[in-house]
């Protein structure tokens, strides 16, 4: 496997630059659309990192939806043909639409989408993009909210990919299950989704309270493949956890026997262990074991704080992570 640094010529924008500019765009949008409750439409997959940060900077009421289109495939130049792979889930008549993209390049995709959506009679359609590359423009399209103008070079990172590489993995845990139910298509773009058995039952409209780990493992394996979720882990309290993956593999991770004093923070510790393990290239079995160990270390103390561990205690080498990650509560 080639090192990412062999492919990257230079760093174009720092994390601090992006964070500052994204906050500025969020403030502008909040001012321009005050009292109008716009609908942000993310163009998957590239938009998801920028859009997540942008939404945190928007201070007015708004809603979110996503579209998935194909135009790049696995090439570094656009094919010129646009295909809708996922359409909106709601009526947009009379709504203010803000199309969110990672980069405005040739403009072919966004021009097509603007025309495609305009027949549904929205109040307005504007475009927000992290990067604007006018030297490559082929279609008459303009971004009202553009983060940075970039030169005619192929850029990757922060959600932008090259042949599906260099996107950052996203790990998601539940804080509001209704969002996961309503936006379950988002789970297809998570590297790993973690919830408990009651939340899994809500997601799949079934009752799992009386299921054994073996039964829930098999049920989860079916649902994960049907819903196209890359990886999913379901915690079962004292019964441990089960997991399933898109490739059909699944398993059970038994809980550790400890003297339980306080379960506060156990789920967060488990999620942290899963994220850390997968980030460092561990298998699902290994990542779940790390999560189980961290969780056990929390519930056997009344202080609700993970003890400090050395990475080597989990078989992790500092500086050898498979890539940076993003974590979301949804």
| Bridge-based pairing state of the strands 250-253 and 241-245 | antiparallel
With CA atoms as reference, report the closest residue to 314 among 132, 176, 324, 292: 292
Alpha helices in 121-212 (DSSP H): 177-182, 197-204
> What Rg do the C-alpha atoms of the chain give, in angstroms?
21
With CA atoms as reference, report the closest residue to 325 among 289, 283, 277, 264: 277
Q: List, by residue number, the catalytic residues.
A: 105
Rounded distance between C-alpha atoms, residue 152 and residue 246, angstroms: 37
Q: CA angle, corner 175, sides to 174 and 176, nearest 5?
A: 95
Do residues 122 and 140 make contact, with C-beta atoms less than 8 angstroms apart?
A: no
Burial grade of 61 (CB within 10 A; 0-12, 13-18, 19 or more): exposed
Rounded distance between C-alpha atoms, residue 156 and residue 16, angstroms: 17
């Amino acid at each position: 496997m080639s090192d990412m640094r062999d492919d990257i010529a230079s760093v174009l924008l720092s994390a601090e630059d992006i964070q500052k500019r994204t906050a500025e765009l969020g403030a502008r949008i909040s001012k321009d659309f005050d009292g109008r409750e716009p609908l942000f439409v993310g163009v998957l997959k590239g938009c998801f990192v920028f859009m997540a940060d942008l939404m945190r900077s928007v201070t007015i009421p708004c809603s979110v939806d996503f579209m998935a289109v194909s135009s790049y495939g696995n090439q570094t130049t656009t094919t010129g043909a646009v295909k809708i792979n996922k359409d909106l889930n709601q009526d947009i008549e009379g709504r203010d639409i803000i199309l969110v993209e990672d980069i405005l390049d040739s403009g072919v995709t966004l021009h097509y989408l603007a025309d495609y959506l305009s027949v549904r009679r929205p109040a307005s359609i504007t475009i927000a993009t992290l990067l604007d590359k006018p030297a490559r423009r082929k279609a008459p399209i303009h971004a009202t909210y553009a983060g940075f103008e970039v030169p005619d070079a192929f850029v990757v990172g922060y959600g932008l990919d090259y042949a599906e590489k260099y996107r950052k993995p996203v790990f998601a845990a539940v804080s509001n299950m209704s969002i996961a139910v309503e936006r379950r298509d988002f789970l297809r773009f998570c590297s790993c989704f973690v919830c408990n058995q009651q939340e899994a039952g809500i997601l799949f409209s079934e009752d799992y309270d009386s299921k054994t780990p073996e039964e829930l493992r098999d049920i989860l394996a079916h649902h994960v493949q049907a819903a196209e979720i890359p990886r999913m882990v379901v915690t079962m309290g004292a019964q441990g956890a089960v997991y399933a993956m898109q490739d059909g593999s699944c398993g059970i991770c038994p809980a550790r026997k400890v003297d339980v004093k306080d379960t506060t923070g156990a789920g967060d510790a488990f999620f942290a262990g899963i994220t850390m393990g997968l980030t460092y290239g561990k298998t699902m079995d290994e990542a779940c074991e790390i999560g189980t160990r961290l969780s056990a270390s929390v519930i056997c103390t009344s202080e609700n704080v993970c003890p400090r561990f050395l990475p080597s205690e989990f078989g992790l080498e500092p500086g050898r992570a498979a890539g940076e990650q993003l974590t979301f509560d949804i």
